Every structure is written in structure tokens, then in C-alpha cells.
């Protein structure tokens, strides 16, 4: 290990950790922010031992403060590992499955993770069992194998993207542990400010740092965080030999963005609750998917394991795909674009992607609620809804 978390996470709240962690040592005239270190190699003589930087594919001083901060935020005892993208982190995590093993995965996992798992399983690397992650009995049956081989890995994502189904994380982690399966939880939608998978029993937490953590739609980066030394060693080895490493500038930008995480998550979350309630009673909307609504099937579970509800809302627009497209074309403040988790509000019809499963309705729009003034966001949405409704 080249570096250790720099302060005591148990003494600070997450909002403070996001601001205070990963700072350079307090020496006279030291910079307040870590510098960007641009070097592909490090001076060294003699034998290279564990923890030496040696070469820029193994380690970079600009990753360290970000990896420490992510680790503290997730409540881990070992530094995190940053990757070139969220999907590079997914790739490393899937490599933990032994050849011939079994992966249990939500059928509404992040589409890229699902495609990767399907392709690897089609090559015969492992068996993939896709489940409705909100249906605890179905997931447990897939874990034990019901006569077939038990699972080697449970993939969790909660709420799912884009159906916003909520998994019972505590129960599923315990069930996975009982069959000896490693649990990986994609915590991108929640951030560690809203949900702490390691505390709920997950072995590894995955982030697309691209989204809320970096928060400004200007970086692509991923991360894995674990307190298990064997798993961390395997993941670090995978990163070193497969080469999907973070650029120092991206790592620096992500930490820069992370400093305001608490403010952004809080504002976006408040905006989302308000907009979901208004959309829920709008006659241009057939259905609102958002665990923050009391009527949502995932509401009670979300309250039991999350400290908020995130800031992603999905709506099924009345009038079908055509009305949904009309709405996206009519917004002026919201940006029609894929991705999520930035300060600016984005809106997208998910089925415009050919890979999106057909269990996702064609008229479903995913709204990534940003930090703008909520009335401005609502005014724009409601004028666009009027345009869409006029089509019916
Ligand atoms: C975007 C995303 C990913 C993939 O991350 P990239 O940084 O785009 O590679 C994985 N999981 C979730 C939930 C995501 O939203």
C-alpha cells in the first residue's frame, strides 16, 4: 500500500470528510490543494518492493488524495482504487469471478455493466443469472442455485438504473455471504452521503466517479473501494496489468468536484423530491418512479437503508414514445443528454439506446435533477409537458 487514509473517519461527518480529507501536510508555505504530478516513472534503485511507486501504471501521487477521500467517505479501512472509467472499475470487479463461476446480477443494472457481463458469459467465462433485484426471494434462489451451483458474486445496484428498483441490501448481503459470494455494490446513484454499502454488508463498492462524485460533467473516472486486503490486492493487480488507469488531471478534477459533494447532493435531492411530487399529480405523466415518493414500491426499503432518495427521477410520459420525444425536444433549461450526476439537470429517453432492455418502457424519461432553482426547473418541465400533452 503506498498510502494510508490521512485522518480519522469515525470522528468526522461525511460532509466534512469531503472537504477536509486528502489535503497536503500542514507545513509552512505548503499548498492547500494537492498538486498534479505528471510523471510516468519514479526514481528508484535496487529491488522494487511492495508499495514502491516505481512506474505510473501502478500508482500516482495525484490519485492518493482522491483514493483516501473516497475510502473515508465509504467508511473503508484501505485506500480506494481509481480507474480510467466506471466501466474499467466494473471490468476489474468482474475479474474477481473465478472461471466457470456464477454471477447474479440485476436485470436493470447499469446497461454497460450488463453488456459486459453478458459478453463475458457468452464467451463461457461464467454463468450469468439475471434477477429482479427488488424481489428478495428470487435473488436468494439465484444465489443458492436451487440445486445448481451457488453464486460466486452478487452484483448490487440500488436504486437501479433506470427503473429505480430498491434492493434489500442488508438481507441480500447476508444471503450472499452465506453462500460465500463476493458482493459488489454500484453506489453511483446514491453516493456515500446517501448510502454506505460497506456498512450494509457489501465487500466492494463501485463508483462511476464521472457522475455525482466529480459532479460537473467534465471527467470520466471510476473507483472501487473495499476493506478486504485480498480483494484490494486482486483489484490493484488487475488495474496494474490491464492498464485502465486514471489520468492525473482527471483525478485532480474529481477531487476538486468532490469538495462540494454534500452541497450538491443535498440541493439536488431536495429539488428531486419537490419535482417528483409535482410530476406525480400531473396528468401528462402516467407514472413517476422515485423511491422518495410514499407511493413508490421501494419507499420503505429506501428509508431503511438510505439517508435520502438520490436525485434521479424517471417518468412515463402519457401519450407514449412520441409524447416523450416531444417533451425532450421542448425543454429549454434541462439539457437533453445521457449521463447524470452533474450540477446541470439532464433529461433523456432511455430507449433511444439500442442496448437498453425492452423491459424499460419506450416512453420512460430519466431526469437527472441538478442544483438549479427548483421553480426554474419546474417551469421549464411544465411548459414542455404542455407541448407533449398537446400531441395527445
Ligand atoms: C455511468 C455509470 C457507470 C459507468 O461509468 P462510466 O464512468 O461511464 O464508465 C456505471 N454504473 C452506473 C450506475 C452509472 O451510472
SS (H, E, C) the chain: CCCCCCCCHHHCCHHHHHHHCCCCCCCCCCCCCCCCCCCCECCCCCCCCCCCCCECCCCCCCHHHHHHHHHHHHCCCCCCEEECCHHHHHHHHHCCCCCCEEEEEECCCCHHHHHHHHHHHHCCCEEEEEECCCCHHHHHHHHHCCCCCCCCEEEEECCCCCCCCCCCHHHHHHHHHHCCCEEEEECCCCCCCCCCHHHHCCCEEEEECCCCCCCCCCCCCEEEEECCHHHHHHHHHHHHHHCCCCCHHHHHHHHHHHCCHHHHHHHHHHHHHHHHHHHHCCCCEEEEECCCCCCCCCHHHHHHHCCCCCCEEEEEECCHHHHHHHHHHHCCCCEECCCCCCCCCEEEEHHHCCCCCCCCCCCEEEEECCCCCHHHHHHHHHHHHHHHHHCC
55 is catalytic: no
Closest protein CA for atom 6 of ligand 1? 86
Number of neighbours of residue 54 by Cβ within 10 angstroms? 15
pLDDT for the residue numbered 391: 72
Q: Which atom of ligand 1 is nearest to the CA of 221?
A: 7
- Residue 171: name the closest of 306, 310, 301, 77 by CA: 301
- Residue 69: name the closest of 95, 36, 33 by CA: 33
Residue 187 in grid coordinates:
453506489
**Which of 68, 186, 296, 380 is an active site residue?**
186
The residues, any chain, with a CB within 8 Å of residue 296's CB and separated by 6 or more, are 164, 288, 289, 290, 302
Number of neighbours of residue 68 by Cβ within 10 angstroms? 23
Best mutation site among 109, 110, 215, 223 for ligand 1 pocket (most ligand atoms within 8 Å of CB): 110
pLDDT for the residue numbered 50: 85
230 is catalytic: no
Q: What whole-number distance in Å separates Cα of residue 151 and Cα of residue 181? A: 6
CATH numbers and ranges of domains, the chain: 14-258 (3.40.640.10), 262-389 (3.90.1150.10)
R_g (Cα) of the chain, nearest Å = 21
pLDDT for the residue numbered 2: 41
For the purposes of burial, counting CB atoms within 10 Å of the CB of 387, is it exposed (0-12), middle (13-18) or buried (19 or more)? middle
Low-confidence ranges of the chain (pLDDT < 50): 1-5, 9
Number of neighbours of residue 103 by Cβ within 10 angstroms? 25
Which residues form ligand 1's pocket by a CB distance below 6 Å? 85-87, 110, 112-113, 161, 186, 188-189, 208, 210-211, 220, 222
**Which of 42, 52, 55, 57 is an active site residue?**
57
Q: What whole-number distance in Å separates Cα of residue 17 and Cα of residue 8? A: 9
* Residue 196 · residue 62 · CB < 8 Å: no
pLDDT for the residue numbered 390: 82
Q: Which atom of ligand 1 is nearest to the CA of 341?
A: 15
Q: Which atom of ligand 1 is nearest to the CA of 157?
A: 13
Closest protein CA for atom 1 of ligand 1? 208
* Residue 109 · residue 33 · CB < 8 Å: no
32 CA to middle of ligand 1, Å? Answer: 30
How far, rounded to the nearest angstrom, does the alpha carbon of residue 76 sit from its chain's CA centroid?
A: 16
**Which of 110, 203, 351, 380 is an active site residue?**
110
Q: What digits encode the pLDDT tens for the residues 93-104?
A: 999 999 999 999
Q: Which atom of ligand 1 is nearest to the CA of 87?
A: 9
Closest protein CA for atom 9 of ligand 1? 86
Q: What whole-number distance in Å separates Cα of residue 229 and Cα of residue 232? A: 5
Specify the pTM: 0.96
42 is catalytic: no
Best mutation site among 84, 108, 115, 211 for ligand 1 pocket (most ligand atoms within 8 Å of CB): 211
212 is catalytic: no
Closest protein CA for atom 11 of ligand 1? 110
Q: What digits encode the pLDDT tens for the residues 310-359?
A: 999 999 999 999 999 999 999 999 999 999 999 999 999 999 999 888 99
> What is the chain's mean pLDDT, rounded?
95
363 CA to middle of ligand 1, Å? Answer: 22
pLDDT for the residue numbered 8: 52
Q: What whole-number distance in Å separates Cα of residue 50 and Cα of residue 142? A: 39
Amino acid at each position: 500500500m503506498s498510502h494510508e487514509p490521512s485522518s480519522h473517519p469515525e470522528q468526522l461527518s461525511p460532509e466534512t470528510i469531503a472537504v477536509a480529507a486528502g489535503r497536503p501536510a500542514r507545513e509552512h508555505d505548503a499548498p492547500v490543494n494537492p498538486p498534479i504530478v505528471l510523471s510516468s516513472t519514479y526514481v528508484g534503485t535496487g529491488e522494487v518492493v511492495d508499495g514502491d511507486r516505481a512506474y505510473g501504471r501502478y500508482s500516482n501521487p495525484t490519485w492518493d488524495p482522491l483514493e483516501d477521500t473516497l475510502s473515508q467517505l465509504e467508511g473503508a479501512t484501505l485506500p480506494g482504487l481509481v480507474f480510467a472509467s466506471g466501466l474499467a472499475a466494473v471490468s476489474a470487479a468482474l475479474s474477481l469471478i473465478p472461471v466457470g463461476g456464477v454471477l447474479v446480477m440485476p436485470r436493470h443494472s447499469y446497461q454497460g455493466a450488463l453488456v459486459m457481463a453478458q459478453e463475458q458469459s457468452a464467451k463461457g467465462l461464467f454463468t450469468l443469472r439475471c434477477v429482479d433485484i427488488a424481489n428478495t426471494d428470487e435473488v436468494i434462489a439465484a444465489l443458492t442455485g436451487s440445486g445448481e451451483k451457488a453464486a460466486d458474486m452478487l452484483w448490487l445496484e440500488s436504486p437501479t438504473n433506470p427503473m429505480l428498483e430498491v434492493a434489500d441490501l442488508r438481507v441480500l448481503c447476508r444471503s450472499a455471504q452465506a453462500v460465500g459470494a463476493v458482493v459488489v455494490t454500484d453506489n453511483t446513484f446514491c453516493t456515500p452521503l446517501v448510502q454506505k454499502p460497506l456498512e450494509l454488508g457489501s465487500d466492494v463498492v463501485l463508483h462511476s466517479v464521472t457522475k455525482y462524485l466529480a459532479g460537473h460533467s467534465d471527467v470520466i473516472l471510476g473507483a472501487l473501494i473495499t476493506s478486504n486486503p485480498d480483494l484490494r490486492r486482486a483489484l490493484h493487480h488487475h488495474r496494474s496489468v490491464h492498464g485502465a488507469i486514471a489520468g492525473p488531471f482527471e483525478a485532480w478534477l474529481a477531487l476538486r468536484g468532490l469538495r462540494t459533494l454534500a452541497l450538491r447532493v443535498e440541493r439536488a435531492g431536495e429539488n428531486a423530491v419537490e419535482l417528483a411530487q409535482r410530476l406525480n399529480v400531473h396528468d401528462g405523466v402516467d407514472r413517476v418512479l422515485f423511491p422518495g415518493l410514499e407511493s413508490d414500491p421501494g419507499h420503505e426499503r429506501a428509508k431503511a437503508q438510505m439517508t435520502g432518495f438520490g436525485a434521479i427521477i424517471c417518468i412515463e410520459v402519457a401519450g407514449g414514445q412520441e409524447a416523450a420525444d416531444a417533451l425532450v425536444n421542448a425543454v429549454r433549461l434541462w439539457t437533453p443528454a445521457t449521463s447524470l450526476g452533474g450540477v446541470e439537470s439532464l433529461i433523456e429517453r432511455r430507449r433511444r439506446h439500442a442496448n437498453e432492455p425492452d423491459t424499460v418502457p419506450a416512453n420512460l424519461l430519466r431526469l437527472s435533477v441538478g442544483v438549479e432553482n427548483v421553480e426554474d426547473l419546474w417551469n421549464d418541465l411544465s411548459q414542455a409537458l404542455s407541448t407533449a400533452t398537446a400531441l395527445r
